[in-house]
Structure 1
Amino acid sequence: MDIVEFFEVVNEVPSSGGKPRVPWKLSQPDGDTFITLPVFIAFCGIASALRSRNRRNARFKAILCLSEESSLSVYMTAARAFLNGIADYKPGTRPFVSDWGGRYSNRDQFEVLNKDRAIFVKEPDKSLDDEARLFADTVVDVPPRSRRHVEAALKRFGMPAIERDIELLLSEPWVRLDKAFQDGRSPTLSLQRLRQLPLPSAPAAMPEAEVPGPTLADMHGYGQVVKWGYDLARDLTDYKSGRIRWEDVDGGVLLSGPSGTGKTTFVRALASSCGVSVIAGSFSAWQSAGSLDDFLKAMRKDFEEAKRKAPCILFVDEVDSFGSRNIRDHNGAYMTAAIAGFLEQLDGFHRREGVVVVGACNHPDNLDPAIRRAGRLDRHYQIALPDAQSRLSILKFHSGIELDQSQAEMFGTATEGLSGAEIEQLARDARRAARRSQESLAGGHIVNQLRPLTELSEDFLRALAVHEAGHALVSMEIGHGEVTEVKISRYRIEGKSSQLGYVQYGQIGARPKTRADYLNAIAVCLAGIAAEMEVFDLFADGASGSETADLNRATELATMLEGSLGMGHTLLVEGSIEQLERLRSYNPDFRRRVHDVLQSEFDRVKSIIQARRSALDAIVERLMETNAMSGDEVVEIVRRHRMPTVSLAKLPRRGMGA
């Protein structure tokens, strides 16, 4: 079958110009991809979906949205064959095909930025957001396998189009097709094997607890914005009952933070807790309507719909895309008009009475100042990535699973730096794994989706415990700050440097800091390596190198003390911290003074550690047992091991005969 015939079968436009290729011979490797009959069926669907890109050396990044379950591996193989067909790859180089929303999806998206072509394949239960559509040149639905695709595959493999075989190839699950049609096995034999087995009955679905929509009570780790949400809920209740006027309701707020931190999820929870509906709009959605007039009409339409449903929340995403009128470029007139239209909708309590506008963005500094004036989006809350406890709470909300202590520790380490959206995806992946194995969702399914972890040796763990115990002990002894938690991790992410232990301190009251305060801060920075020196007679390299490492921070504080705060050997202030770093490098006298401060505090810390060695050892042993301690536990251990002191105020009286 030639290329024109093939495209006629899959209802493609005739090829012209640079002709694309199709996989030719039976089970012939195309690069390192073997084309089996089910792969060719999938190939037909991809060729149909990407017909506009099916030309020689086309450059694009595509997301293919599958409609059939359990077909990912077959379609990824077919996608590689498709890319091999439109471009020549060097020996040893594979076409770039990846699983959209998979474990390494974010890394792969970064990797393909400089590639000419790439295909991401999305399973039916994976989600797409606006950022995905901005990333890809094309997002297309792959049609389900059809009779014509199956007939084309049978013809390509030189097999008769028998009705029973066509029905079989249309009804068999992809997993069984993939296993039956193997490299080196004739398709005729593969069909015979399939005919001998009955079609699988649909597996009994494992019961899954329904996950209700989130409320503000589920927004763990969101900080002060949750309190604002509860206040808004009370105000809207009072407004609906007539107890307060709309002027007394906080009608505008700005949420900012990295992508995936859950700004959209928070808005859904806010609406649920307030008992109102949400109208969603965004800069890109309004802009996609067409010209400037169309943009403004689309924006006004969303505001008008929100007013019809008042009281209501209007969620405006990507609000930072409006930019600022202070920036002059070739789009200046367009953006000025867009901002003016947005301000017109925001202004005046009566014009949007009953409408709470929640704006969301990644870069709040890019906003036009007028948008953040009083009565508009004047209140601002930053939403950060969730901490370890918040990540566990997010997981429980999306999965209903509460991990045991060991699983929770692994989860906390492996998900460091992940957003709420990424944890939600992890829960979806775990549910899918449980469905495939016909098991009830459990903690083990969650752990299996985590990034690979390495368990630390006991010697490594003890060194961590000694280091963190030193920080906690010295901080308490010199009264630098209240210790609230000490923690070490038994696991590390493979191939990634991450924080393996920490001491958490309570907030220090706002007051001017003296030289003694800075010296105490330096002492606490040096306490970890002082404890290691006391116990092991050496210290590890983790205390230096990065900007936040203990020795780097202590050096910076000592440099400030001597050069920019007037608290060193002279009142003279030398300059900025950057200038001081150069001064430290090229001025031996200044460098010596910084060294003397560090050495003096290190000697003081060593004396404290030596005097409180029994308390240090007790904290270390407790950390080795539990991996985490509260501040109260540390205080109790230090108190229990404090040595009795003899007052020198009154010397003991000697006997009369002395």
Structure 2
Amino acid sequence: MPTTHSGKRTRVPWKTDTQVRNTTVTLPVFMAYCGVAASLRAWNISHSKFIVTLRAKDDFYYPVYAEAVEVFAAGIWTFREFTSYAYEWKGRSFRDEMEAHKNKRAIFIAPPDYNLDDDEGLFSDAVLDLEPRTRRHAEAALRRAGLPLSDRDVDLLLSEPWPRLVKAFQDRRHPMLALERLRTHSRVPAKPAHEVAKPLGPTLADMHGYGPALGWGTNLAKDLADYKAGVLPWSDVDNGVLLSGPPGVGKTMFVSAPANSCQVPIIYGSVSEWQEAGALDSHLKAMRASFAEAKEKAPSILFVDEVDTFGDRTETDRNRGYLRAAMAGFLQLLDGFDRREGVVVIGACNYPDQLDLAIRRPGRLDRQLEIAFPDAKARLSILAFHSGPDLDQSQAEKFGMATDGLSGADIEQLVRDAKRVARRRREVLSGDHIVEQLPTVTELPEEFLRALAVHEAGHAIVAFEIGYGRVSEVRISRYRIDGKPSGLGYVQYGQTGARPMTSADYRNAIAVCLGGIAAELEVLGSFADGASGSDTADLNRATELATMLEGGLGMGHTLVVEDQVQLERLRTYNPEFRRHVHAVLQSEFERAKSAVRTRRIALDAIIKRLMEANVMSGDEVFEILDRHRRPTVSLAKGAAT
């Protein structure tokens, strides 16, 4: 029997004519052998001396497993006449114990219903769980017998009881004939037509605010479906990606969405959990077990969390040797299509900059997708997943405002708190319990709300008039979070296409920034302080753009440009520069006021609609503008400098 330098056996009974004690290894015996060999992998050393016990589970038949043990023993021990190395624990096993003690070699099997006592455990060098038959074992057995692989035959080998498999696959009968007879006389009912089970978690249709990651997940779900249908080769499937983002943003929840959409299993792994297995060998074994499980359930998704824990191999510290070896094992499992066909590996990390570049090479986790904090729709989706009750419009608006900046983990905690309150009161969880857990939210008075509607309608009017992209949504909020500064309204613009910006583009942007206060002056006679003060406020943003135009881009009164710090100093201490910035602002402010005055009837209609609905689509705004079309010249052309 050939051996390697380590002494481990390198040959297994793959040949169909393999015999043990003049008995051919049949297909069911080989399947059982696969389970025995998996359980005794650490003891698979030629000429070693040991006595171990295999503790069987429900899927067990002693005659076939006894033969499988003899097959395993034949590979590492020399058989003598009338000697067996397979024993069964039963009521009185004294003679077997004496024989095992004399030979210094034995493999005992404890049936599922046998109570293994302390003395018997003490007699054994180790007590191990006997691995049950798996899909991989059945596929290996069919390949060994030279039979074609099919899901039907694999399912048959896994579902038929062991005694019936032994009766079908006899030494004198060709495996093909045995399999045919087993199909004909099978007692296992045919599987009913496949029914699509309801996913236990969110699907891609439930996910919002994930940006490019959502598009990647959608394509992956389609590719996995095509791969399962046999119309797409595995080499065309994007089988490795790295998700990055701060803790709690919903990376784990996102990973489950494509798995649920395409109904493939997901196997969760974690670098820290693998490390908890102990020494390096145990760490690598736990890692390989996760990949093996994913391969067995393929097509599947293997989610590896905290992948940045591996660190960078170029760093030096006392633990670097351990982590370097662990990473080498991880890279080996990632490489190559044959090694993990059908397995999509999705890694997740909080700090992608700390990740070793080798993990990001082609064929591994070569695509990186960043996940930010969830937007309002995503937060509502996360809430629905964790709680159940639907929120009415008022509750949803309060929730969207109060949870701005919260992660998926924060929302999950909020739901737990709401459920606790409902339990204490002996009430059914409702939207009211959810809202109670939010920061105090105050409803704005009608006068304040109208001022918001005027301001945001002004932005929308000016944007449409000067052709500043396309307005996709206008929104105002009826509520404010006490003690927390937050935006109470906004206008969302569509993409205008990527191209270099000219002076006219910058001036248009300034005019749109000033459209809100232009509308307030036209309708209310003055504008409020909300248009200035913060970096993102309208007047601050407009001033910054005008400053850049005049002194940072060479598009103003001089071609000389300055850096940002110098620009702020010039605006503060140079009266001439300040006058140029003021002139730009004043010119665009006049243009904004002219647009608002010209479209006053449409402005009033938009304000009224916003007061009623709080939100308008771009199409609704355009419909009002088109209905109140003005017979005047367009203001799209910027004012002369």
Under TM normalisation by the shorter chain, which class is it? 0.5 to 0.7
Contact 2:200-2:260 within 8 A present in 1 as well: no
Structure 2 partner of 1:563: 551
Inter-partner Cα distance in structure 2 for 1:573 and 1:646: 35
Aligned counterparts of 1:622 and 1:274: Cα–Cα separation in 2: 42
Deviations 1:70-121 (A, max 9, x none): xxxxxxxxxxxxxxxxxxxxxxxxxxxxxxxxxxxxxxxxxxxxxxxxxxxx
Aligned residue number for residue 426 of structure 1: 414
Partner AA of 1:392 in structure 2 = L
2:141 is aligned to none
Change (3 A) 1:263 1:644: same
Return 5+ residue gaps in structure 1 as ranges: 1-209, 648-658
Query: Residue 656 of structure 1 aligns with which residue?
Result: none
Against the structure 1 CA distance between its residues 583 and 334, is the aligned structure 2 distance closer, same or farther, given a 3 Å change threshold? farther
Range with bigger deviation, 210-219 or 602-611: 210-219
Secondary structure, in 3 states, of the residue corresponding to 2:358? helix
Which residue does 1:615 correspond to in 2? Answer: 602
AA partner of residue 236 (structure 2): D
C-alpha deviation, 1:422, in angstroms: 2.7
1:540 aligned to 2:528?
A: yes
Matches for 1:479-494 after TM superposition, within 5 Å? 479-494=467-482
d(CA) in 1 for partners of 2:325, 2:405: 39
> Aligned in 2, Cα 1:367/1:474: closer, same or farther, shift over 3 Å?
same
Instruction: State the distance in 2 between where 1:240 and 1:479 align.
Output: 48
Match for residue 329 of structure 2 among 341, 355, 373: 341
**Equivalent-residue separation in structure 1 for 2:279 and 2:237 (angstroms):** 35
For the residues of structure 2 that align with 1:270 and 1:454, how far apart are their CA atoms? 39
| 2:569 match | 582
Contact 2:519/2:593 (<8 A) preserved = yes
Most deviating of 308-317 and 531-540: 531-540
Per-residue deviation, 1:462? 1.8
* SS of 1:351 mapped into structure 2: helix
User: What's the counterpart of residue 637 of structure 1?
Assistant: 624
1:407 aligns with 2:383: no
Matched residues, number: 437
Shift in alpha-carbon separation, 1:472–1:326, aligned structure 2, 3 A: farther
Match of 1:215 among 187, 200, 203: 203
1:294-319 Cα offsets, whole Å, 9 max, x none, are 54443333223333333322111112
Instruction: Give the 3-state SS of the residue equivalent to 1:629 in structure 2.
Output: strand
Task: Report the CA distance between 1:559 and its aligned residue.
Answer: 1.9
The reply to whether residue 284 of structure 1 matches residue 272 of structure 2 is yes
- Residue 396 (structure 1) aligned with residue 384 (structure 2): yes
* Cα distance change on mapping 1:626 and 1:244 into 2, 3 Å: closer
1:354 aligns with 2:354: no
Equivalent positions of 1:38-49 (< 5 A) are none
Q: Does 1:628 align with 2:611?
A: no
Q: 1:270 aligns to what?
A: 258
Residues of 2 paired with 1:319 and 1:221: CA distance?
Answer: 24
Question: In the alignment, what sits opposite 1:470?
Answer: 458
In 2, distance between residues paired with 1:428 and 1:239?
39
Determine whether 1:605 maps to 2:592: yes
> Is the 1:211–1:397 Cα contact (8 Å) retained in structure 2?
no
SS in 2 for 1:571: coil
Question: Match of 2:249, as an amino acid?
Answer: T
AA aligned opposite 1:231: N
The residue number in structure 2 matching 1:447 is 435
Alpha carbons 2:199, 2:260 under 8 Å: kept: no
The 1-side partners of 2:199 and 2:429 are apart by 13
How many angstroms apart in 1 are the aligned matches of 2:633 and 2:231? 67
Query: Secondary structure of 1:464's match?
Result: helix
TM-aligned CA deviation for residue 329 of structure 1: 5.8
Q: Which of 469, 477, 486 is the aligned partner of 1:498? A: 486
Q: What one-letter code is carried by the residue in structure 2 that aligns with 1:564? A: G
What TM-score does the superposition give when structure 1 sets the normalisation length? 0.62
Alpha-carbon displacement from aligned partner over 1:552-574 (angstroms, at most 9, x marks no partner): 22122112212232211223333
Contact 2:224/2:299, CA 8 A, preserved across alignment: yes
Deviations 1:341-367 (A, max 9, x none): 332221122222222110112232332
Q: Partners in 2 of 1:327 and 1:537 — Cα distance? A: 65
Give deviations 1:490-523, integer Å, cap 9, x for gaps: 1111111111110011111122221111100011
The alignment partner of 2:338 has SS state of coil
Alpha-carbon RMSD across the aligned residues, in angstroms, is 2.6
The question of whether the paired residues in 2 share the 8 Å contact of 1:257 and 1:362 is answered with: yes
* Residues 202-255 of structure 1, C-alpha deviations (whole Å, 9 max, x = no match): xxxxxxxx9933222222333443343333233334434443332222110111
Q: Does 1:550 align with 2:538?
A: yes
Mapped partners of 1:550, 1:544: distance in 2: 6
Q: In the alignment, is the contact (CA less than 8 A) between 2:245 and 2:349 conserved in 1?
A: yes
Give the direction of change, closer, same or farther, for the CA distance of 1:605–1:233 in structure 2 (3 Å limit).
Answer: closer
Change (3 A) 1:237 1:474: closer
Closer/same/farther in 2, CA of residues 250 and 406 from structure 1, 3 Å limit = same
| Structure 1 stretch displaced more, 259-268 or 488-497 | 259-268
Task: Decide which of 236, 250, 259 is 1:248's aligned counterpart.
Answer: 236
Aligned: 1:572 with 2:560:
yes
Amino acid at match of 1:626: A
Give the TM-score normalised by structure 2: 0.63
Q: Are 1:526 and 2:514 counterparts?
A: yes
Looking at structure 1, the residues matched to 239 and 265 of structure 2 have their Cα atoms a distance apart, in angstroms, of 15
Q: Which stretch shows the higher mean deviation, 458-467 or 363-372?
A: 363-372
Q: Which moved more, 1:429-438 or 1:409-418?
A: 429-438
| Distance (whole Å) between structure 2 residues aligned to residue 279 and residue 489 of structure 1 | 42
Confirm or deny: 8 A CA contact 2:208 2:375 kept in the other structure.
Answer: no
Unaligned runs of at least 5 residues, structure 2: 1-197, 635-641
Query: CA, structure 1 residues 541+293, in 2 after alignment: closer, same or farther (shift >3 Å)?
Result: farther
Return the alpha-carbon distance in structure 2 between the equivalents of residues 559 and 338 of structure 1.
54
Q: Tell me which residue corresponds to 1:384.
A: 372
Aligned to 1:150: none
CA distance in 2 between counterparts of 1:512 and 1:285 reads: 49
Matched, 1:596 2:590: no
Contact preservation (8 Å) 1:253, 1:379: yes
Quote the Cα distance in structure 1 between the aligned partners of 2:611 and 2:384: 27
Distance 1:543 1:295, change over 3 A: farther
For 2:295 and 2:458, how far apart are their aligned partners in 1?
A: 60
Please tell me the residue identity of whatever aligns with 1:529.
I
Matched residue SS, 1:213:
coil
Q: Which residues in structure 2 correspond to 1:354-373 (within 5 Å)?
A: 354-373=342-361
1:627 deviation in Å? 1.3
Change (3 A) 1:288 1:573: same
- C-alpha distance in 1 between matches for 2:599 and 2:451: 18
Tell me which residue corresponds to 2:247.
Answer: 259
- Larger gyration radius, structure 1 or structure 2: 2
- Structure 1 residues 583, 364: CA separation in 2 closer, same or farther (over 3 Å shift)? farther
Distance 1:544 1:586 in 2: 21
Counterpart CA distance in 2 for 1:612 and 1:525 is: 17
Closer/same/farther in 2, CA of residues 608 and 269 from structure 1, 3 Å limit: closer
Distance 1:627 1:417 in 2: 22
CA distance in 2, matches of 1:562, 1:217: 47
